[in-house]
Amino acid sequence: MVQLNMNRVAMALLIALAVVVVACGKKAPVTQPTAPPAATAPPARPATPPPPPQRVEESLPVPEQPLREDTIGNKSLDDVNRASPFTPSFFALDSAELDNAGRAIVAANAEIMKKYPTWVVTVEGHCDERGTAEYNLALGERRAVAVKTYLIALGVAPDRLRAVSYGKEFPFDAGHTDTAWSMNRRAHFVITSR
C-alpha cells in the first residue's frame, strides 16, 4: 500500500511537471535560457559537447511561477479543471482517513488554493465499487469532509470549500482490479469558480 502511494505521488509529480512544460511551450516568450530541471539530464551532459539539437532544447522557456499563473488565468474554467493543478488524494478500503501521502497531497493542494485566493473548490468524495451504491454516498461524504476539514486546518477559508459525495457513481477507472479500485477511492478537487 505504501509502495503504491509512493508510486502514485511520483507519477503525480511527473504529470504536474509535464503539464507545466507543455503549458509554457504554448506561450514561448523570449526569456533567459535555463536548463529545465530534468532528472536524467545531468549525467548525460558532461560527456559530450553541445550539438545543435541540444541548443534547441536549451531554448525552451523556463517554468517561472508568474508565467504559470498567467497561463492558468487565461484558460477557461473547464480547461483549468481538465489540466487541473490539483492532485487527487486516495483512501484505503472502507476508510475516510487521510494517511501521510494523502495529507501531503492535500497540503500541496492547499498551497495552490492560497496562491489563487479567489478560487472556490468542490472536494468530491468518491468510492470504489466494492461498497453498496447507497452506503457509498455516505462514505464518499465522509471522505470529502475529511479533506475539507484538513484544508481548513491548513488555513483555507471554509467558504471557499464545498464537500460533495458521489459515492461509486463516477469511477475514475471503470476496471474491476485492485489498481482500478485504489484509483477510485479518492477525493477529487474541482474548481467551481474563481
Partner 1 sequence: MKRFAFGVGGWVLGIVLAGLSAAALTAQQPSEIQLVISGEPGTPPRYAVPDFIALTPDSADMAKTLGRVLWDDLNFEREFYMVPRDTYATIPLARTPEDVPFAAWRELGADAVVFGTVQKTDANTVRVQIRLFNVRSRQSVFAKEYTGSSANPRLYAHTMSDEIHQQQRALRGVARTKLTFSSDRNREKIAGPVDNRDVKEIYIADYDGENQRRVTTNRQLNIMPVWSPDARSIAYTSYRRGYPDIFIALIYQGLQETPTNGVGQNWLPVFSPDGTRICFTSNRDGNPELYVMDRDGSGVRRVTNNPAIDTTPTWSPNGTQIAFTSDRPGQPQIYIVGADGLNLRRITTMDSYADRPTWAPAPFNEIAYAARTGPGFDIKVFDLASGTTRQITFGEGSNESPAFSPNGRHLVFTSTRANDRVQVFTMGRDGRNVKQITRDANNYTPGWSN
- Quick one: CA dihedral 133, 135, 140, 141, positive or negative? positive
Q: CA 159, CA 90: separation in Å to the nearest integer?
A: 24
**Distance in Å, CB of 7 to partner 1, minimum:** 23
Cell numbers that stand for 125 in this block: 468524495
Helix/strand/coil percent split, the chain, to 5: 50, 10, 35
Cα separations in angstroms, 115 against 33, 69, 73, 145: 26, 9, 12, 22
Residues listed for the chain: 194
CB of 151 to partner 1, least distance (A): 16
Of the candidates 189, 170, 188, 92, the residue with the CA atom closest to the CA atom of residue 129: 170
Q: How far is the CB of 190 from partner 1 (least distance, A)?
A: 5
89 vs 165, beta carbon nearer partner 1: 165
CB nearer to partner 1: pick between 111 and 169 = 169
10: left (phi over 0), alpha (psi -120 to 50) or beta: alpha
Q: How far is the CB of 77 from partner 1 (least distance, A)?
A: 6
Nearer to partner 1, 142 or 160 (CB): 142
Residue 94 beta carbon to partner 1: minimum distance, rounded to whole angstroms = 7
Other CB atoms within 10 Å distance of the CB of residue 167: 20
Cβ-based nearer residue to partner 1, 61 or 171: 171
Residues at the contact surface with partner 1, assessed by CB under 8 A: 77-78, 80-82, 94, 122, 130-135, 137-139, 141-142, 145, 162, 164-166, 169-170, 188, 190-192
Q: Which is nearer to partner 1, 124 or 156 (CB)?
A: 124
